Amino acid sequence: MSKGVLVDVTRCIACRSCMVSCKSWNDLPSIPGGFQNNWDAPGKMDANNWTVVNNYMIEDGDDIKWRFVKKQCMHCLEPACESACFTHSFVKTKEGAVIYKPTTLNQDYCVGCRYCMIACPFGVPSFQWDKAFPYVLKCRFCYDRMKEEGLEPACVTSCPTQTLKFGDREELLAEAWDRINKNPNYVKRVYGEKEYGGTSWLYISDVPFDKIGFRTEAYGKPVTERSIPSLTWDVLKWTPAIFFGWGALLTAMRAYTKRRAEVHDESEMYAPVDPKE
Amino acid sequence: MQIGRNWSFRITAFRMLLFAFVAIAVAAALYRFVYGLGAVTNLSDEWPWGLWIGFDLLCGIALAGGGFSTALIVHVLHKDKYLPIARAALLTSLIGYIIALVSLFLDIGRWYNFWRPFFYWGFHSVLFEVFWCISLYTTVQVLEFGDIFFEKVNFPAMKKILGALMTPMLILGIVLPSLHQSSLGSLYIVAIDRLYPLWWSMIIPFFFVWSAFFLGPAMVTVEGTLAARAYGREPEMHVFESLTKVTLWMMVIYLIVKIIDLVYRGVFSMAFNGSYESNMFLIEMIGFVVIPIIMYAIPSIRTKLWGVLTASILVVVGVIFNRMNVVFTGMAKAAGGSYFPSFWEWMITIGMWSALVLLYCFVVENFPILSKEDHVSHGHDFASKPGIHA
Ligand code: SF4
Ligand code: SF4
Ligand code: SF4
């Protein structure tokens, strides 16, 4: 069964326990920058910070709301990073985690071209810019814990407010809608249900998603619900047909026009130039 | 400078300067290999691709489009009047691809793995197609060039083998670039919702391959004129002029398809919304598509060297401008952060293009690439009229 996590934004108190436990479980160095006690500057995920909690102040007249949002890889159902990679260095496991094979499975095929970073619609994969042989790193859904020890992700275990709930994605989705339907404060949307083909991590919130750093529309249109791999495949699937069709057409044209063309001795036509100055 | 009995390379002050640029670039590249990309570039998680991919790779390959469009015109359609430029186009194209491959190699982080994609069947990736086609096509071009090489270096057996392979190679030499020129566009399909809708389209592969194709004749014109000036030869004006017909019609079709695509996707009005992106788009379409079309359409402009040259330069700059818009302008809003190439990124790029010029000079001075002068003067000789020598 494919796993997921339900993130209930209304419950998060920004204690950042998840950030700490992610770091300690995954042995990520604590480098000043992404991980500091600056509440105004939104933190960014990078190669050493696979998850960040950002704060948002939403003003609605006199009504001011603070909301805190944990972000990490969304673990898409059909991940763009996986389909973009020409060495297949990302893979969606049947457990639901999207993992990077070079570091997680020790299959070092990645060439470091960073097309996965261009492809990810959530801007997740991060590069070790300071390394001579950098890896592309991101949240791996604690695949090792899940797979080998049957444990919940480190961040979920450490969350004191039950903002994060680990479980089967389908069940979590049902629970998400249940919570939304029982409480009119929630926005009627589960972010991650359909966006870009759906994701394993799901979010519910009582403030509009576009106010807390989620893209709900792009250039005036709602974000697409088709998966990115399916879009590229719509174009790529034509490759063999173009290869053979275009090749055959060219061969035919060449044969047809050749009969009418004069014959040239090419070796008589050209000569090295004299570099006169 | 004599290198052995048969080889020569003239050293001028300008060429020394180019050599210096190449040397600096090589040093910077070595530094990059030891200390990583972060040490020499301004790339970041927001801007994973920069100058080397955007300019050296995307534009280098597009500018090399002269190779496949000329091959199609000369060797498939057998329009023999264009033969005089065929080899020069092949040469620039080959060097362009080598530059692109070198910059790709510099840009990838785990370069010792560069051969992996050959053995990993990642066919669901656009990059996989690009990588295979570019590598194969570069090989094909090296073989095609081998045919010329063995005209100089006498080795009849080799020449014969290559001669027999010529037809399949020529066909592959058109099919492969058609595929990857378009796939370079398809790379940006993943950027849906991020690349500005004036550029993002499901048919962006068509726009890329089509523009690479019509860029070919323009590029041949520009480099032909440059070579003619550098070596004190007559520019092949009659060839340039009749090539404008190809470019003209292809650009008209490009413009029409572009408009239909924008209207179909309901984003046509975005071109006039006054945003930075829309202005860049209008400059691209009017300055570098509509104006060259008009210039090519007017006989009194296209029959003059200055006219055909100016219009061709506009076309060349226009395609570069388009690629830059896709890679940078159109992505800026979604990417956030800012990117401007670092000093060393510039130096490596400059070094790479200097190497291109040096290689070109060396090859045309030592191999039969440009047509013999007496072949040039037949046909209507516009260039010999006074006042046209630019
Ligand atoms: S969010 Fe990005 S990195 Fe994570 S699975 Fe989806 S495409 Fe891949
Ligand atoms: S950087 Fe590595 S993982 Fe990402 S697309 Fe390139 S080869 Fe694949
Ligand atoms: S699932 Fe694991 S790797 Fe991902 S953010 Fe949580 S602790 Fe970090």
Taking CA atoms, what residue in A is nearest to B367?
A272
Determine the residue among B10, B77, B124, B361 to mutate to test chain A binding: the one whose Cβ has the most chain A Cβ atoms within 10 Å.
Answer: B124
Query: Residue with the nearest Cα to atom 6 of ligand 2?
Result: A113
Contact (CB<8Å) B111/A218: no
Average pLDDT in chain B: 84
Residue A166 pLDDT > 50, yes or no?
Answer: yes
Under a CB-based contact definition with an 8 Å cutoff, are residues A52 and A71 in contact? yes
* Domain boundaries along the sequence of chain B: 117-339
Q: What is the pLDDT of residues A134-165, one digit of tens each?
A: 999 999 999 988 887 788 999 999 999 999 99
Contact (CB<8Å) A44/B45: yes
Under a CB-based contact definition with an 8 Å cutoff, are residues B226 and B312 in contact? no
What ipTM describes this predicted complex?
0.86
Residue A63 pLDDT > 90, yes or no?
Answer: no
Q: Where are the beta strands (DSSP E) in A191-239?
A: 201-204, 217-218, 221-222
Residue A33 pLDDT > 50, yes or no?
Answer: yes
pLDDT at residue number B140: 86
DSSP class of residue B58 equals I
Q: What is the pLDDT of residues A80-130, one digit of tens each?
A: 999 999 888 899 998 899 999 888 887 888 889 999 999 999 999 999 988
Which helix H or strand E contains A63, and what residues bound it?
Answer: strand A63-71
Q: Which contacts (CB < 8 Å, 24+ apart) does range B282-290 have? A: B283/B321, B284/B318, B284/B321, B284/B322, B284/B325, B285/B255, B285/B258, B287/B314, B287/B318, B288/B314, B288/B315, B288/B317, B288/B318, B288/B319, B288/B321, B288/B322, B289/B251, B289/B254, B289/B255, B289/B318, B290/B255
| Segment among A19-28, A65-74, A120-129, B105-114 with least mean pLDDT | B105-114
B117-339: CATH, from 1.10.3470, 3.40.50, 1.10.10, 1.20.1630: 1.20.1630
A92 lines ligand 1 (CB under 6 A): no
> SS3 of A127, please?
strand
Q: What is the pLDDT of residues B117-128, one digit of tens each?
A: 777 777 788 888
Residues of A whose CB is below 8 A from B191: 118-119
- Interface A-B: count of C-beta contacts within 8 A: 230
* B120/chain A closest Cα distance in angstroms: 5
Mean pLDDT for A34-54 is: 73
Determine the residue among B72, B183, B193 to mutate to test chain A binding: the one whose Cβ has the most chain A Cβ atoms within 10 Å.
Answer: B193
B 117-146 residues inside an 8 A Cβ radius of A: 117, 120, 122-129, 131
Mean pLDDT for B335-345 is: 86
Residue B305 pLDDT > 80, yes or no?
Answer: yes
